[in-house]
Amino acid sequence: MEFTAEQIAEILQGEILGDKHIKVSGLAKIEEGQTGALSFLSNPKYEEYIYSTLSSICIVNKSFEPNKSLPSTLTLIKVEDAYACFAKLLELYNNLSKKEPAIEQPSFIHDSAVVGEGLFLGAFAYIGKNTKVGENVTIHPNSVIGENVKIGDNTIIHPGVTIYQDCIVGSNCIIHAGTVIGSDGFGFAPNEKGEFQKVPQIGNVVVEDFVEIGSNCSIDRATMGSTIIRKGVKIDNLCQIAHNVEIGQNSAMAAQVGIAGSAKIGKSVMIGGQAGISGHLHIADGTKIVAQSGIPSSVKKAETLMGSPGIPLDDFKKSYFGFRKLPHILTKLTELENEIKELRKK
């Protein structure tokens, strides 16, 4: 699909410098631009590329003033915030490429299931008994939607996703390939013989609106009650959320984060990759946890934590500075011990 500079400027309420009739049909990084591509410049570190880019249109901030000649084939669109405007165009492009309503075959929808208008159901997908699917939902091939599941409007479920029985997914959510929602929590109790007996997991998972979950994540159903992912949460790939966890509104976590059972994560919490959070604790609203940190106890006030166990970032930096000096300190200590021995001999 092609757009002219004039059409793009109208969408973004921008000012055109160059050929308003020039057309683009794709998006590209400014350093990788090709004829017919649309790029953007926001970070000054990349300014050098705008003087050699092959892109046909570039979105720039209104404050941008070139300090040398631009390519004659390049048209600029000046806006208040180039990054935000380019993100807006990416969202528009993504919506235009959304699947048209269709039910591919072979696929299965149980007679008791209720599906809204505008459904795209990919081949080999399955919708179970008494399940309710909202309007304009996209369910890609090989996905399994179990019994009594509820899915809100405009949600996108990518290939190979499994949503177990009784789980709820809100509106405008995106769940990426291979993710499992509602698998059993890790509940076992040893008997008198020392053998592990499975504790039935009879709860569910509730995912509220505007949540995005990356690929190959696992979100366990509650033992009783619900594991809850609140509105606006963003979860990266390969994360593990255990049973009865609650993640507060607008929190985000990077890849390979693990959260143990019954932990309560506050609002607007940011968790770096490979961080681990112990079970049955509370993390205060606004807390930031640096990558690869381990959190063994509750965090009562918002702060940035680093290390294992996690401590305030400034304390960690001071401790690390001391740790790096340990070899030098040990050498000096050995020298002092030897000097003391010599003095005792004398």
CA distance 51 to 72: 10
* pLDDT band of 254, cuts 50, 70, 90: very high
Region 20-26: mean pLDDT is: 94
pLDDT, tens digit, 9 for 90 and up, residues 196-222:
999 999 999 999 999 999 999 999 999
Nearest to 75 by CA among 44, 49, 54: 54
Q: Does 132 have pLDDT greater than 80?
A: yes
Among the residue ranges 135-149, 238-252, 307-321, the one predicted with the least confidence is 307-321
User: Quick one: what percent of the chain has pLDDT higher than 70?
Assistant: 100
Region 180-209: mean pLDDT is: 95
Q: Does 251 have pLDDT greater than 90?
A: yes
Listed in sequence order, the residues at least 6 apart from 135 whose beta carbon sits closer than 8 Å to its beta carbon are 116, 117, 118, 119, 153, 154
Whether the upstream peptide bond of residue 309 has omega within 30° of 0, thus cis, is yes
Catalytically annotated residues: 243
Query: What is the per-residue pLDDT for 100?
Result: 87
Long-range contacts of 13-19, Cβ-Cβ distance < 8 Å, separation of 24 or more: 13/79, 14/59, 14/77, 14/78, 14/79, 14/85, 15/62, 15/77, 15/78, 15/79, 16/75, 16/76, 16/77, 17/75, 17/76, 17/77, 17/78, 18/74, 18/75, 18/76, 19/75
CB atoms within 10 A of CB 75: 24
Nearest to 227 by CA among 245, 209, 240: 245
Query: What is the per-residue pLDDT for 318?
Result: 82
Q: Does 97 have pLDDT greater than 80?
A: no
Query: What is the per-residue pLDDT for 186?
Result: 93
Region 226-238: mean pLDDT is: 98
CA distance 302 to 240: 23
User: Quick one: what percent of the chain has pLDDT higher than 90?
Assistant: 84
Query: What is the per-residue pLDDT for 1?
Result: 74
Mean pLDDT score across all residues of the chain = 94
* pLDDT band of 321, cuts 50, 70, 90: confident
Q: Does 98 have pLDDT greater than 80?
A: no
Query: What is the per-residue pLDDT for 95?
Result: 76
